[in-house]
Amino acid sequence: MASTQDFKNGLCIVFNGELYSIFEFQHVKPGKGPAFVRTRLKNLKTGKVIPNTFTAGVKIDIARVERRPYQFLYKEDGGYNFMHAETFEQVLIDETIINAPQFLKEGQAVEITVHADTETPLQCELPAFVEMQITYTEPGEKGNTATNAMKDATVETGAIIKVPLFISEGEKIKVDTRTGVYAERVK
């Protein structure tokens, strides 16, 4: 058991019988009345973020979760197959718990958050930025750079993203997996 003094971003707790991660929190000490902690909690199964207020000093249950390194192997009808980087144990994961499945390449390193008591995978996170090769894009027009114009491009995994006009087919780019947007060109 822990109390609201132990709150920190990313802490996993059991709240209303489900696992939540503390997305953000703020200790509030009003001039009148007891202190409290205003939080935003993210449900680890559904991904929904809810607001909640805890009275200061309330006891909470902390869930034991571990972040483990895995490598993406292949996709099949039942989900995505990953291999643990150290034990070589394979696990099948549903697409709903992967933060950006459209950017997964074979051999991609990911981190999977696992509930330590039940060994249930909760989240699968790709690195913040991944390198992708452009497989198809329309050629850009020379001299059309007065504005921040973007065009569609297909990357090697089949995902379609917006890129600047100067990007051409065959080039490597960095893509932000959290937002799914172009970050920079890789040299």
Statement to judge: residues 31 and 54 lie in one domain: yes
State the Cα–Cα distance between residues 36 and 42, nearest whole angstrom. Answer: 19
Statement to judge: residues 76 and 118 lie in one domain: yes
Statement to judge: residues 119 and 96 lie in one domain: yes
Which residues constitute the domain of residue 82?
65-125
> Scanning the structure block, which residue is given the tokens 């003094």?
5
Number of domains in the chain: 3
Starting at the earlier edge strand, list the strands of the sheet with 172-176: 160-164, 150-155, 129-137, 172-176, 181-186
Statement to judge: residues 36 and 87 lie in one domain: no
Statement to judge: residues 19 and 41 lie in one domain: yes
> What pLDDT is attached to residue 162?
92
Quote the tokens at residue 140: 């850009």
List per-residue pLDDT tens for the chain, 187 residues long. 888 888 988 889 999 888 898 989 999 999 889 999 999 998 887 778 999 999 988 999 998 888 899 999 999 988 999 999 899 999 999 888 888 899 999 999 999 988 888 888 888 889 999 999 999 998 876 665 667 788 899 999 999 999 988 888 999 999 999 888 999 998 8
Statement to judge: residues 121 and 76 lie in one domain: yes
How many C-beta neighbours within 10 Å does residue 24 have? Answer: 13
